[in-house]
Structure 1
Amino acid sequence: MTDKQLARPEFMIDSWDFSSHPAEPIHDAFHTRQNSWFHFQRNIAGLSAWLEQSGIPDPVIDAVLEEDTRPRFDRINDGFLLILRGVNKADGDKPEDMISLRILYFKGNLYSFRRRPVTAVRLIQGLLETQQGPQSLPDFILQLVDEMTNNIELLQDNIEAEMERLEDDERGTTSDRQRALTNLHRRLLRLTRFVRPQLTALDKLAADGPKWFDAEWAQWLLNERDNTHRELENMEMLLEQVWMLREHLHQDLAEKMNRNTYWLSMVAGVFLPISFLTGLFGINIGGMPGVDDSNAFWIFSGALLIIAVIEFLLLRRLRFW
């Protein structure tokens, strides 16, 4: 076998042998390894052929290299396929645009595939390098799911804090608060779009897990599944809060508009007869009373004031406000 065949391929990001503890990095003879983890950059040429050489069936290769996926669990011969979504922590990207991580457990080996870096995987890589990482492949899966769930929880906490700030914001304009709520609503919808099927995938993995791992591992995975379920319930509650606050803002805006319209109507009602009289007495034709009387203006102004006061008292007695 040539040195080129022994060298790590360009598409292989990392590889570790879990046959002993602590795990050891793998530098050669990749196809003959057992109880090992291989991490790949899935958009680099040559990966499909390498997986074929490892004996992985073509339909499974197509599934792990497919461009657009959603969280799911599929049982296959000699293993399973688990597709998860994690928080996107890349600079300049939106965290809720969750990135895909495909996990293939096949004939005792674990294969993971990414396009963009996954924070949970990088954390485990760092732990392995310091000999503090998971002790086995089942432990690796549990820790990976746990870290991905923790990152979702942190993102949800940030959204919840922003939601509380909007609820307590009495100085911001209604339009600004509405825009912020629309943005929060969109972010939560993107999260629930992936977290809900991810919960289903973990349910199926927990049910089928004892086929490959022990019962204790399945129980730990159920705990992780419950954490994901709790996060989903919190997201749904936040969606309800967003909806309720938006309804409150709509109602508050409608009340302000109604109140302003009401007072404009009141002012118009008070000044309508006064405007009629001033218009009537403003005509320039003969026969107008008081034309030759120097006190006629003050008498007329006093009459208008009396009419305005009578209207005000009448409207108040009729409980117009």
Structure 2
Amino acid sequence: MSGFAYQVTAAGKAIKAEIKDALKARSGLVWVHLNTNNEHAQDWLANTAKLDDYLVEALTATETRPRCEQFGDGALINLRGRSDDELSSSDPLASVRIWAVKGRVISITRKKLTAIDHVEDCVKEGRVRDPGDLITEFATAITADLDPDVADLGDDLDECETQLSPDKVFELRHTVTRVRAQSIGYRRFLAPQRTALEKLATLPVEWLGDDDRTHLSAAADRAARMAEELESIRERSALMHEALTDLRAEQIDQRGLIISIVAMIFLPLTFLTGLYGMNVRGLWLADQPWAFDAIIGICVLTAVSVTTYFVRQHWLRG
């Protein structure tokens, strides 16, 4: 079972501790973080941390969505953030499950969050003194870490819009599809995350101070802004995809028109040459020595006539 633990004094001094002994501290803040999904974590939560079965199940569940629930004087919080580990396109954000009561915070991740390092640094620097401070750092770090990714998605889409042309249809479709899929995956979790943070900011628990509630509300507003931006990116991606589809259809139509025109030009020529390719008597000019030149001239004249007709009808302009 991998992870780490800290005991934080009332003055903010953080002391790293063994996970098995961390909960023995009687004062200050204890933070235990587990980066695991095995049965040892469930055993530790049930037998060492003495958590109820429904809390153990919630903290170790395979599938989670952002949420916040109060149980007595404690709170169960699920949040989603970026991870450097490989994730599926349908589930692009890793989860962190947090149980917080006065003087104690237990967090669990199945995939390592990139925000964890920032939160740990805040603890080491003495900026965390109670559960409210720690959860606030989690919420702030996760939203701040996601913000540049959301902005990059918008920038990628802006670049695609400026490069929109028939010559780059395949390249742009690949980028637009990626941006759209990623924006949908992010928004799937950011919308409920905003609700979870807003609910957490209003919980009537004594370990959340006024400054913590203010910071949580700010993180919720930031999550809301990102969710709105992602919805805009999703809609723009859909419109961009339609524009690329139209360009592709126009390309196919133009090429099909050119092929049809070439076929129409050669159709009478093919008929004429096929007719004179028959090995029968009675063909016009068949016995004349200049017959070949005459047939060639007729073919050229026919091709020029058909082409001129198409030009006058503006068919060659697509």
Give 1:143 deviation, angstroms.
1.8
Q: How does 1:178-197 map to 2 (within 5 A)?
A: 178-197=173-192
Say yes or no: does 1:20 pair with 2:11. Answer: yes
Give 1:18 deviation, angstroms.
4.5
Determine the structure 2 residue equivalent to 1:5.
none
Q: 1:64 aligns with which of 59, 64, 78?
A: 59
Q: 1:39 aligns with which of 12, 32, 41?
A: 32
Q: 1:141 aligns with which of 115, 135, 140?
A: 135
Give 1:146 deviation, angstroms.
0.9
Say yes or no: does 1:117 pair with 2:108. Answer: no
Q: Answer whether contact 1:37 1:109 (CA < 8 A) is retained.
A: yes
Determine the structure 2 residue equivalent to 1:156.
150
CA distance in 2, matches of 1:315, 1:247: 31
Give 1:281 deviation, angstroms.
2.9
SS of structure 1 residue aligned to 2:202: helix
Determine the structure 2 residue equivalent to 1:225.
220
What amino acid is the match of 2:221?
A: D
Give 1:77 deviation, angstroms.
0.8
Q: Answer whether contact 2:105 2:131 (CA < 8 A) is retained.
A: yes
What amino acid is the match of 1:191?
A: Y
Say yes or no: does 1:297 pair with 2:292. Answer: yes
Structure 1 runs not aligned, ≥5 long: 1-9
Q: Answer whether contact 1:210 1:218 (CA < 8 A) is retained.
A: no
Task: Give the 3 Å change call, closer, same or farther, for CA 180–58 of structure 1 in structure 2.
Answer: same
CA distance in 2, matches of 1:316, 1:171: 24
Give 1:71 deviation, angstroms.
1.1
Determine the structure 1 residue equivalent to 2:279.
284
Say yes or no: does 1:247 pair with 2:242. Answer: yes
Give 1:142 deviation, angstroms.
1.7
What amino acid is the match of 2:58?
A: A
Determine the structure 2 residue equivalent to 1:3.
none
CA distance in 2, matches of 1:94, 1:169: 29
Q: Answer whether contact 1:271 1:308 (CA < 8 A) is retained.
A: yes
Determine the structure 2 residue equivalent to 1:50.
48
Give 1:180 deviation, angstroms.
4.3
What amino acid is the match of 2:304?
A: V
CA deviations over 1:150-188 (Å, ceiling 9, x no partner): 121233344445445555386986445444443443333
Determine the structure 1 residue equivalent to 2:73.
78
CA deviations over 1:188-233 (Å, ceiling 9, x no partner): 3332222222122112112326765344432322111111111122
What amino acid is the match of 2:32?
A: H
Q: Answer whether contact 1:270 1:311 (CA < 8 A) is retained.
A: yes
SS of structure 2 residue aligned to 1:139: helix
What amino acid is the match of 1:49?
A: N
SS of structure 1 residue aligned to 2:84: coil
CA distance in 2, matches of 1:319, 1:115: 64
Give 1:261 deviation, angstroms.
0.9
Task: Give the 3 Å change call, closer, same or farther, for CA 286–208 of structure 1 in structure 2.
Answer: same
CA deviations over 1:210-261 (Å, ceiling 9, x no partner): 7653444323221111111111222222222332332222222211111111
When the two chains are superposed, the root-mean-square deviation of aligned CA atoms in Å is: 3.1
Say yes or no: does 1:317 pair with 2:312. Answer: yes
Task: Give the 3 Å change call, closer, same or farther, for CA 29–117 of structure 1 in structure 2.
Answer: closer
Aligned residues: 307
Q: Answer whether contact 1:17 1:26 (CA < 8 A) is retained.
A: no
Using the aligned pairs only, state the percent identity. Answer: 24
Q: 1:30 aligns with which of 7, 20, 23?
A: 23
Task: Give the 3 Å change call, closer, same or farther, for CA 293–63 of structure 1 in structure 2.
Answer: closer
Task: Give the 3 Å change call, closer, same or farther, for CA 174–123 of structure 1 in structure 2.
Answer: same
Q: Answer whether contact 1:87 1:152 (CA < 8 A) is retained.
A: yes
CA distance in 2, matches of 1:264, 1:274: 16
SS of structure 1 residue aligned to 2:6: strand
Q: Answer whether contact 1:51 1:61 (CA < 8 A) is retained.
A: no
Which range moves more in the overlay, 250-259 or 173-182? 173-182
Q: Answer whether contact 1:21 1:135 (CA < 8 A) is retained.
A: yes
